[in-house]
Amino acid sequence: MNLHRGFGDASRALAEWVKSGRRLAILAVGNPLRRDDGVGIEILKSLKASSRRVKMVRCLQVPENYLGEVISFKPDRILFIDGVDANLPPGELVFAEFTGEERIGPIISTHGLPLDVSAGYLKASTGASVALLGVQVSSTEFGEGLTGNVERAARATSRMLSRILSGLSRGKS
């Protein structure tokens, strides 16, 4: 897994990754009742798919419940958006493509089934390239709303993803 850290590096890597594909499924993962764990859901809320080439799925804590829906879309790119705990400063953005060889372990997750299991299944079932766009969390305590740094990162990430998706709908990225 090649990890791209920081907003600039992660967003460039993500844009190139999306641009090299034809059909993109975005799976937002997280629990909005556990503070920053809901960052993926918050990011997805502000995105609009303006192309039939993009499918957005609000998975909450159970991405495994949506695997069939994603597989039937026939994507060649699958992006998980989630809060991560990678011992980085809160709000730090990371992007990594799953190779199928790694165990995510310490980077993620607050969810029942680790993302690498769902990612591996999707990769094997679709042949798609599967990646993670993560935002370093500060708090996953019970409560609603994102912490300050994570909220700012979510807004910036939403704007960046909107630009990438806008380019995709025009046949670019």
pTM above 0.85, yes or no: yes
Domain CATH code at residue 134? 3.40.50.1450
Average pLDDT over residues 26-54: 92
Question: What token pair was written down for 94?
Answer: 């990371």
Quick one: CA torsion of 100, 73, 93, 63, rounded to 10 degrees? -70
Q: For strands 93-97 and 77-84, give the pairing.
A: unpaired
> Distance between CA atoms of 162 and 43, rounded to whole angstroms?
10
**How many distinct structural domains can be found in the chain?**
1
Average pLDDT over residues 100-121: 67
Its domain, for residue 90, covers 3-169
Residue 151 has pLDDT above 60, yes or no: yes
Average pLDDT over residues 68-74: 97
> Distance between CA atoms of 94 and 100, rounded to whole angstroms?
18
Structure confidence at residue 103 (pLDDT): 56
Structure confidence at residue 173 (pLDDT): 42
